[in-house]
């Protein structure tokens, strides 16, 4: 395990890492991303976020660390972690998405509601990203993660820009991967993997559909809020023109109730969005990472297969050389056979290891998913409960006014 | 037998029979009770069964029913409006034309899109659209019934001969819809009326009561129109699908995910809230939009009578000055005077009654609206809290 040499872990902590799955509730680290600040002007401007880490874990140098990071720093961290761990079958949490449109508005200095919302969305997403990353036992101990959270200066991650050389290379690789995926036909000997892959495919489809539903739900709530406010004003006007005093008062009260309900609708729309929609979006991206890990396993298998084919060829070549009289070439052939035997063994070991890692990772992912959804759904239901309680209060106050009309 | 939707003859459930005075608080008495006991929806028309119970000697039987269509209601309404004798009364507003086009279109679109959705989704949507159709149907029945009940409750209109014919004559009244020429005539009549209306509205009335009523009604009518439109829009938003389909989640998911299913009954309650708001608020406002228009029409007619009276006075003065056709002018003036005074007297009572009815109707509907909103909110609250209890208890 190469990465452990870098972390200077003792054996006890190494085993603890795998036991941490059971002790997840006593997780000793809190991370918050806050206080977005705009730095610079015009198209070169960017937002800087405060990242505060509070922890009792000994791998950190202090109990409480506060650093300033910008969006590309997060992308840089993710990029490093992905290149280190994905090929081993670790599910590396994906970073929040880039948004050229959203960011441009902020850069250009539009102080309107949509850019405020955008920054808040992003802040929240960055926080969730970090929390997920440190929840992963291997990633938590990674030096890049520690450096990200602790060191006051961080080298600028330029290779994360979409149109940089590295960015273009990424795009090319992605395309190549897609092509390869189509051509690799793996003999799946392990039913577990086939089953899980199918499950994740289904989950992906379902989450996307649900995500779309929630976005439309939020839209409808906002529309309802606008129309309720408009009706409230109209009812107030009607109350003004009504010449029966008690009825006039009741209509004004009705207008007030509707105004308050409008505010409830607005708040509910926020809750709908932040709680559920963002979570669903996160999981759609996470599933992509999970699928990526399964693909890595396929690639590892393919590599192993290729090595075996090569070995076979070398053996055939050696067999041929047996009957020719070229002792140098024969020796070379024998050396190559040994080399490729080694590669085949390594390939098989790698494949076994990645399969093992993936099983463990998927188990962890599924536990976390249940927890994540549970927490969010409880919060959402609580907000719905609050809304209904408020509605009851408002209508209970209105009822005697309506009855007082004589 | 019927094309289109499969509506059986017994469209109205047992609980829906009987007078359904939705937006007006009417005292029905035994001498004349009218209701719509049944209704049939066919491809392009609705057939209402008008049921009458009466102890009045004018009718051949004590209880009888006839089948009427929307055009016949309009004919009856128009005959009241055109009758000079009734110029001093608020003519109960005509019921709006039954309009199932939007609902039918939606059902048709659903049928066309059947292939592109799961069986569950299709059944659910079909049920919702059918419920919507049924709601529209019930509403149109209610509005036609209210019209008849208002006429039956009015001390003068209930004696109208056309009304009795409408109730009793068990053949088709053969009142064809207005042809193009007649519609055009109506159009011009309305144009003239509104121009007159402006004129009449400009003349300050000597009588304080009517002056106040004029000012009040003009403003009130506009505000009710606005409130009606805005309430419609609000309720339409409320009705629009709160899409949160749980069927998108696999069945054997752990408890937290399947808890999205609690939101289904919550959605159903929200749909019912919207339907109740529609009935108690939107329909109320719509009805008073039409009634306030009818009240305005009454004021207009009185205004016209006043103008005629003043013109007759001027003509009389002129005739006296010229000493020519004095007797004729005197007669005309007297007729105009009587007409004006008759209208004013009954109009005053009508407007007072209008206010009483309006206040009572608003009270009833606002109280019922508040009670229903409370009921639904409490229902929602219970559902949500029980689900939370399960979720939180499961660690």
User: Domain ranges in chain A?
Assistant: 1-153, 213-405
pLDDT at A178: 67
Query: A237 — contact with chain B (CB < 8 Å)?
Result: yes
C-alpha B341, offset from chain centre: 31
Total of domains in chain B: 1
Among partner residues B216, B256, B380, which is closest to A377 by beta-carbon distance? B256
Predicted pLDDT at B21: 42
User: What pLDDT is recorded for position B240?
Assistant: 60
User: Pick the residue with more confidence: A272 or A41?
Assistant: A41
Residue B18 has pLDDT above 70, yes or no: no
Can you read off the two tokens belonging to residue B345? Answer: 């007297």
CB-CB under 8 Å, A399 with B374: yes
Q: Does A245 touch chain B (CB under 8 A)?
A: no
Contacts of residue A220 in chain B, CB cutoff 8 Å?
237, 240-242
Nearest residue on chain B to A215, alpha-carbon basis:
B243
Using DSSP, state whether A111 is helix, strand or coil: coil
Residue B54 located in a structural domain: no
Cβ(A120)–Cβ(A96) under 8 Å?
A: no
Span A291-305, average pLDDT: 90
Q: How many CA atoms lie within 13 A of A253 on its CB side?
A: 22
Q: Do A214 and B244 touch (CB under 8 A)?
A: yes
Q: Find chain A residues with C-beta within 8 A of B211's C-beta.
A: none
Lowest-confidence pick of A135-139, B2-6, B169-173? B2-6
Residue labelled with tokens 């607005």:
A266
Of B220, B243, B374, the CB nearest to A216: B243
Sign of the CA dihedral with A161 first, then A166, A170, and A172 last: positive
pLDDT of A58 over the 70 cut: yes
* The model's pTM: 0.75
Q: Which residues of B touch A230 (CB under 8 A)?
A: 230, 233-234
Among A103-112, A132-141, A231-240, B244-253, the range with the most confident prediction by mean pLDDT is A231-240
* Closest-approach residue (CA) in chain A for B238: A224
Q: What is the pLDDT of residues A310-345, one digit of tens each?
A: 999 888 888 888 887 788 888 888 888 999 999 999
Q: How far is A202 from chain B (nearest CA, A)?
A: 8
Q: What homologous superfamily is domain A1-153 in, according to CATH?
A: Phox-like domain (3.30.1520.10)
B60 is a domain residue:
no
pLDDT higher than 80, residue B54: yes
- Confidence band of B250 (pLDDT split at 50, 70, 90): very low
- DSSP assignment of A264-322 equals HHHHHHHHIIIIIIHHHHHHHHHHHHHHHHHHHHHHHHHHHHHHHHHHHHHHHHHHHHH
Mean of all residue pLDDT scores within chain B: 80
Query: Closest chain B residue to A202 measured between Cα atoms?
Result: B250
Return the pLDDT at B2: 30
DSSP line for A206-260: HHHHHHHHHHHHHHHHHHHHHHHHHHHHHHHHHHHH--SHHHHHHHHHHHHHHHH
In this structure, what token pair is assigned to residue B106? 């939606």
Task: Give A54's strand partners.
Answer: A30, A64
pLDDT tens track for A174-186? 666 666 666 666 7
Q: B268-289 pLDDT, tens per residue?
A: 777 778 878 888 899 999 999 9
> Per-residue pLDDT averaged across A145-157, rounded?
85
- In B152-188, which positions are buried (b, 16+ CB within 10 angstroms) versus exposed (e)? bbbeebbebebbbebbbeeeebebeeeeeeeeeeeee
* Chain A to chain B Cβ contacts (< 8 Å): 147
| Encoded tokens for A38 | 């705009």
- Residues 6+ positions from B192 with CB-CB distance below 8 Å: none
Residue B368: predicted pLDDT: 93
The complex's ipTM?
A: 0.80
What residues in A contact B240, CB-CB < 8 Å?
220, 223
| Residue A59 Cα, gap to closest chain B Cα (Å) | 30
Find the distance separating the first CA and the last CA of chain B, reported in whole Å.
Answer: 60
pLDDT at residue B192, rounded to an integer: 58
Using the predicted structure, report yes or no on whether residue A165 has a pLDDT greater than 80: no
Sheet of A46-55, strand order: A29-39, A46-55, A64-70
Q: Cα B384 to chain center, whole Å?
A: 37
Closest to A140 measured CA to CA, from A302, A18, A291, A239: A18
d(CA A149, CA A32): 11
CB-CB neighbours of B63 under 10 Å: 10
Determine whether the interchain pair A381/B256 forms a contact, defined as Cβ–Cβ distance below 8 Å.
Answer: no
pLDDT at A279: 84
CB contacts, 8 Å: A224 with chain B: 234, 237-238
pLDDT value of position A232: 95
Q: Closest Cα partner for B346 from B358, B334, B356, B354?
A: B354
Q: Is the residue at B103 inside a domain?
A: no
Nearest to B217 by CA among B302, B298, B304: B298
| B32: enclosing H helix or E strand | strand B32-41
* Tokens 């009466």 belong to residue: B54
Residue B248: predicted pLDDT: 39
Provide the CATH number for the domain around residue B267.
1.20.1270.60
The encoded tokens of residue A146 equal 């520690």
Residues of chain B positioned with their CB less than 8 A from the CB of A218: none
- B117-176 pLDDT per residue, tens: 778 778 877 887 888 888 888 889 989 999 999 999 999 999 999 999 999 988 777 776
- Confidence band (pLDDT; 50, 70, 90) for B179? low
pLDDT digits (tens, 9 = 90+) for B198-209: 555 556 667 889
| Averaged pLDDT, B339-368 | 93
Which positions in chain B touch A203 (Cβ < 8 Å)?
A: 250
Cross-chain residue pair A392–B378, CB shorter than 8 Å: yes
Residues 6+ apart with CB under 8 A from B157: B80, B86, B89, B91, B92, B151, B163
Tokens linked to A225: 């809020």
DSSP string, B337-351: HHHHHHHHHHHHHHH
Strands A46-55 and A64-70: antiparallel
Q: Is A231:A258 a contact under the CB 8 Å cutoff?
A: yes
User: How many CB atoms neighbour CB A174 within 10 A?
Assistant: 9
Residue B371: strand pairing partners:
none
Minimal Cα–Cα distance from A395 to chain B, Å? Answer: 6
Query: Which residues in A lie closer than 8 A to residue B378 (C-beta atoms)?
Result: 388, 392
Is CATH 1.10.287.3510 what the domain over A213-405 is classified as, yes or no? no
Residue A354: how many other CB atoms lie within 10 Å: 23
Residue A385 in contact with partner chain B when CB distance is under 8 A: yes
Smallest Cβ–Cβ distance between A241 and the set B220, B236, B259 belongs to: B220
Q: Is the pLDDT of residue A218 over 70?
A: yes
Check whether B349 has a pLDDT greater than 50.
yes
pLDDT score of A8: 31
Query: Across the interface, which of A370, A389, A403 has its CB nearest the CB of B381?
Result: A389
Same fold, A1-153 and A213-405: no
* Residue of B91, B96, B68 lying closest to B79 (CA atoms): B91
Q: Do A250 and B362 touch (CB under 8 A)?
A: yes
- At B34-51, the pLDDT tens digits run 999 999 888 778 899 999
Angle separating helix axes A143-150 and A113-135, nearest 10 degrees: 140
More confident residue, B202 or A252: A252
Pairwise CB contact (< 8 Å): B366 & A244: no
Taking Cα atoms as reference points, which of B25, B24, B43, B10 lies closest to residue B283? B24
- What residues make up the domain containing B315? 219-394
Q: What is the mean pLDDT of chain A?
A: 82
- Among A15-19, A320-324, B18-22, B301-305, which is the least confidently predicted range? A15-19
Strand partners, B49: B38, B67
Q: Where are the alpha helices (DSSP H) in A136-185?
A: 137-140, 143-150, 165-183
Contact indicator for B34, B63 with CB cutoff of 8 Å: no
Torsion, Cα B10 B14 B20 B26, to 10 degrees, reads 130
Q: Are A281 and A213 in contact (CB under 8 A)?
A: no
Which positions in chain B touch A392 (Cβ < 8 Å)? Answer: 374, 377-378, 381
The predicted structure's pLDDT at residue A182: 63
Residue B20 reports pLDDT greater than 90: no
| pLDDT tens per residue, range A63-116 | 899 999 999 999 999 999 999 998 889 999 999 988 777 777 777 766 677 777
Of the listed ranges A117-131, B26-40, B69-83, B168-182, the least confidently predicted one is B168-182
């Amino acid at each position: 395990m190469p990465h452990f040499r870098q972390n200077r872990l003792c054996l006890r902590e190494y085993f603890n890492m795998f036991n941490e799955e059971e002790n997840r509730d006593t997780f000793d680290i809190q991370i918050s991303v806050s206080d977005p600040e705009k730095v610079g002007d015009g198209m070169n401007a960017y937002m800087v976020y405060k990242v505060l880490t509070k922890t009792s874990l000994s791998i950190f140098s202090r109990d409480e660390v506060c650093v300033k990071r910008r969006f590309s720093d997060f992308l840089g961290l993710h990029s490093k972690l992905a290149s280190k761990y994905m090929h081993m079958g670790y599910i590396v949490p994906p970073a929040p998405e880039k948004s050229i449109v959203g960011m441009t508005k902020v850069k250009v200095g539009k102080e309107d509601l949509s850019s405020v919302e955008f920054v808040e969305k992003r802040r929240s997403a960055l926080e969730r990203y970090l929390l997920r990353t440190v929840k992963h036992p291997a990633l938590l101990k990674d030096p890049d993660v520690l450096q990200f959270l602790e060191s006051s200066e961080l080298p600028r991650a330029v290779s994360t820009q979409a149109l940089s050389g590295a960015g273009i290379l990424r795009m090319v690789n992605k395309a190549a991967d897609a092509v390869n995926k189509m051509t690799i036909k793996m003999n799946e000997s392990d039913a577990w993997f086939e089953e899980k892959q199918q499950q994740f495919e289904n989950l992906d489809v379902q989450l996307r559909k649900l995500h779309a539903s929630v976005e439309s739900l939020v839209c409808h709530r906002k529309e309802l809020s606008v129309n309720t406010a408009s009706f409230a004003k109209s009812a107030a006007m009607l109350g003004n023109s009504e010449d029966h005093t008690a009825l006039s008062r009741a209509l004004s009260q009705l207008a007030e109730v509707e105004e308050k309900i409008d505010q409830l609708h607005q708040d509910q729309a926020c809750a709908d969005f932040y709680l559920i929609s963002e979570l669903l979006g996160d999981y759609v991206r996470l599933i992509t990472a999970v699928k990526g890990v399964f693909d890595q396993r396929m690639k590892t298998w393919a590599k192993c297969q290729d090595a075996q084919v090569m070995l076979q060829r070398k053996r055939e070549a050696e067999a041929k050389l047996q009957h020719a009289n070229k002792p140098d070439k024969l020796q070379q052939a024998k050396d190559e056979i040994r080399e490729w035997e080694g590669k085949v063994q390594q390939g098989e070991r790698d494949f076994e290891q990645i399969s093992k890692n993936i099983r463990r990772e998927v188990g962890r992912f599924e536990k976390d998913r249940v927890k994540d959804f549970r927490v969010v759904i409880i919060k959402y239901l609580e907000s719905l409960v609050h809304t209904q309680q408020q509605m009851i209060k408002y209508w209970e106050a209105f009822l005697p006014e309506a009855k007082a009309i004589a | 037998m019927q094309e289109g939707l499969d509506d059986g003859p017994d469209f109205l459930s047992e609980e829906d029979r009987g007078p359904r005075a939705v937006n007006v608080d009417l005292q029905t008495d035994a001498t004349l009770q009218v209701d719509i006991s049944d209704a049939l929806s066919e491809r392009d028309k609705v057939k209402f069964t008008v049921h009458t119970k009466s102890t009045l000697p004018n009718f051949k039987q004590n209880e009888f029913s006839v089948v009427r269509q929307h055009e016949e209601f309009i004919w009856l309404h128009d005959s009241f409006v055109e009758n000079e004798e009734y110029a001093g009364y608020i003519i109960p507003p005509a019921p709006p034309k039954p309009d199932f086009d939007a609902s039918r279109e939606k059902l048709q679109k659903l049928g066309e899109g059947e292939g592109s959705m799961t069986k569950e989704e299709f059944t659910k949507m079909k049920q919702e659209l059918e419920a919507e159709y049924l709601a529209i149907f019930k509403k149109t029945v209610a509005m036609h019934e209210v019209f008849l009940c208002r006429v039956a409750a009015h001390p003068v209109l209930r004696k109208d001969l056309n009304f009795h014919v409408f109730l009793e004559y068990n053949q088709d009244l053969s009142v064809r819809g207005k042809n193009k020429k007649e519609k055009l005539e109506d159009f011009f009549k309305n144009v003239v009326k509104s121009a007159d209306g402006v004129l009449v509205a400009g003349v300050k009335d000597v009588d304080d009561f009517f002056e106040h009523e004029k000012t009040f009604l003009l403003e009130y009518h506009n505000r009710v129109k606005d409130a009606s439109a805005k309430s419609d829009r609000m309720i339409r938003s409320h009705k629009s699908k709160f899409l949160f389909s749980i069927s998108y989640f696999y069945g054997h998911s752990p408890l937290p995910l399947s808890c999205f299913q609690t939101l289904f009954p919550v959605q159903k309650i929200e749909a019912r809230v919207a339907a109740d708001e529609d009935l108690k608020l939107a329909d109320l406002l719509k009805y008073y939009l039409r009634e306030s228009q009818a009240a305005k029409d009454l004021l207009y007619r009185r205004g016209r009578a006043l103008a005629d009276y003043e013109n007759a006075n001027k003509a009389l003065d002129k005739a006296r000055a010229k000493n020519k056709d004095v007797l004729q002018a005197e007669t005309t003036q007297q007729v105009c005077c009587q007409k004006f005074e008759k209208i004013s007297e009954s109009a005053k009572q009508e407007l007072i009654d209008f206010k009483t009815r309006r206040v009572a109707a608003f009270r009833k509907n606002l109280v019922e609206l508040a009670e229903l909103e409370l009921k639904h909110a409490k229902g929602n609250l219970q559902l949500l809290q029980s689900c939370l209890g399960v979720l939180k208890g499961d660690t």
